[in-house]
Amino acid sequence: MKRTIAAALYWLAAIAIALGAYGHGFLGVRPVRAAIAASTLAPEIVRVIWIVWYFVSGCMLAFGAILFWAWPRLEAGSSSRSTAALIVGVFYTITGVASYLYSGGEPFWLLFLVQGVIAIGSTLFLRSPQGAGRT
């Protein structure tokens, strides 16, 4: 039962992280477009903003893909791909904490913290001897 819960949480984090690319690149961009259109930023600065904006969307998709890639080995109870999943989890955890603090306590950033903690916790459980075996 614990393994089933860990697997479900792992998939929840993996899917949410991958779908973050859609939310960031297609939905979250709307207010940014409006703000940039109303600004007097130099065109070269605007281009850099768009490059970074869509790079971040690509990173979210890549991080989700890394979690999907790591899954078959974790499902088998192996730790051979767990490092990649843990790196994604740690990055999301750090980003969540740092962004929450830097933003002055904007609760949205806690989503990154939660996704990171879930990815780390479920990965550690699934690769451990007590989490080994089939769901």
User: If you search the block for the tokens 């973050």, which residue do you land on?
Assistant: 20
For residue 25, give the DSSP letter. Answer: I
Residue 107 has pLDDT above 90, yes or no: yes
Indicate the pTM of the whole model: 0.86
Q: Give me the number of domains the chain comprises.
A: 1
Task: Note down the domain range covering 119.
Answer: 2-130
**Which one is predicted more confidently, 51 or 79?**
51
* Residue 132, pLDDT score: 61
What Cα–Cα distance (Å) separates residue 31 from each residue in 37, 83, 94, 128? 10, 36, 25, 43
The answer to the question of residue 135 being in a domain is no
* Residue 86, pLDDT score: 96
> Which residues, other chains included, contact 119 with Cβ-Cβ below 8 Å and sequence gap of 6+?
10, 13, 14, 17, 67, 85, 86, 88, 89, 92
Q: How much of the chain, in percent, has pLDDT values that exceed 90?
A: 77
Beta-carbon count within 10 A of 88 CB: 26
